[in-house]
């Protein structure tokens, strides 16, 4: 940005401050001539406005008293080579914080407005940034939604893993559903992703190659066979038949998720917790070898699968 200043401080009678606020900038590098007049006035004005200020020692000059002798500004006075390293680190932190703030707001608006009504302008306004800065990080609404979903799936897998580790019967097929239900109860957006919620994701679900198409479970047949090999599923059970039954039950389980329940308007639907509890008991009785079976290999397998899922969908 170029602007003409008419006073010692660049803040006086210019649009500098509102522009910096819009950009989300809170750190300034000051250089110029004269150190004891314009530079000092700029530093004072910036500090009064709660900006963090650094003065490049080898990018200022004066024929009067040196700014570095002014005690209140001594900490702002650094060499440019040191300053450049600090600014680089600060810029990285700022960009990461800004990205997370954008994702936080986009996730909240996605749940409230839905994909079809959501605009990049809504996100920019809610996060307090110029729309151009949002587009600078995410080139389109689809790219932003994809990033939101990836982060949510990562959180989902992490919470799912945590619940498996703390489940005394973690490592059985039943524990998968218990952990899943517990995680989804805390992450409504993850629930919308798993349920392929039309109200929330709308037209996005019709995109080819969207994230929904890449997360359609691990492959239930392979999963059940692997659990059988690990000793967490009875060896005399037909793994293919079990996988077929589990896949058939999944749509019914999705219908009990809160948003789906509200859409259907059905008051007779059991809660997700009730369905998962009943399903867990049936699976424990029908699939788990015995109450004394060693489920640690099954738990290790499940945690490894979830780790793979997180690696496939990084935040």
User: What pLDDT is recorded for position 34?
Assistant: 67
pLDDT, tens digit, 9 for 90 and up, residues 248-276 = 888 888 788 776 777 777 778 888 888 88
For residue 110, what are the contacts with CB-CB under 8 A and spacing of at least 6? Answer: 118, 145, 148, 189, 200
Give the model's pLDDT for residue 137.
85
pLDDT digits (tens, 9 = 90+) for 137-165: 888 999 999 999 989 988 888 888 888 88
pLDDT confidence tier of residue 82, bands split at 50, 70 and 90: very low
- In this prediction the pTM is 0.60
Token pair belonging to 180: 């899943």
Residue 94 has pLDDT above 70, yes or no: no
Q: Hunting for tokens 């007049």 — which residue is that?
A: 37
4 or 109, higher pLDDT: 109
Strands (DSSP E) contained in the chain are 27-33, 52-61, 77-78
CB atoms within 10 A of CB 91: 11
Across the chain, mean pLDDT equals 78
d(CA 299, CA 171): 4
For residues 173 and 283, is the Cβ–Cβ distance under 8 A?
yes
Looking at the chain, the whole-number percentage of residues with pLDDT higher than 70 is 78
């Amino acid at each position: 940005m170029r602007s003409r200043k008419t006073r010692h401080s660049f803040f006086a009678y210019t649009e500098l401050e509102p522009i910096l606020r819009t950009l989300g900038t809170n750190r300034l590098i000051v250089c110029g001539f004269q150190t004891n007049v314009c530079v000092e006035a700029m530093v004072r004005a910036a500090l009064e406005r709660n900006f963090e200020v650094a003065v490049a020692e080898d990018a200022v000059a004066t024929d009067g008293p040196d700014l570095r002798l002014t005690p209140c500004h001594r900490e702002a006075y650094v060499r440019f080579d040191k300053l450049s390293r600090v600014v680089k680190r600060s810029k990285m932190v700022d960009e990461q914080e800004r990205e997370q703030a954008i994702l936080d707001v986009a996730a909240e608006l996605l749940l409230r407005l839905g994909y079809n009504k959501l605009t990049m302008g809504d996100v920019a306004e809610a996060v307090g940034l110029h729309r151009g800065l949002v587009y600078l990080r995410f080139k389109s609404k689809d790219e932003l939604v994809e990033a939101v979903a990836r982060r949510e799936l990562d959180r989902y897998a992490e919470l799912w893993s945590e619940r498996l580790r703390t489940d005394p019967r973690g490592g059985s097929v039943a524990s998968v559903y218990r952990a899943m239900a517990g995680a989804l109860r805390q992450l409504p957006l993850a629930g919308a992703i798993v349920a392929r919620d039309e109200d929330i994701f709308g037209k996005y679900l019709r995109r080819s190659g969207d994230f929904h198409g890449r997360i359609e479970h691990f492959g239930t047949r392979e999963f059940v066979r692997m659990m059988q090999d690990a000793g967490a599923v009875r060896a005399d059970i037909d793994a293919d038949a079990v996988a077929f039954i589990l896949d058939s039950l999944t749509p019914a389980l999705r219908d009990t998720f809160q948003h789906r329940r509200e859409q259907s308007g059905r008051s007779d639907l059991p809660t997700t917790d009730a369905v998962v509890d009943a399903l867990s008991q049936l699976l424990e009785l029908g699939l788990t070898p015995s109450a004394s079976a060693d489920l640690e290999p099954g738990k290790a397998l499940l945690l490894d699968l979830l780790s793979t899922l997180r690696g496939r969908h990084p935040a």
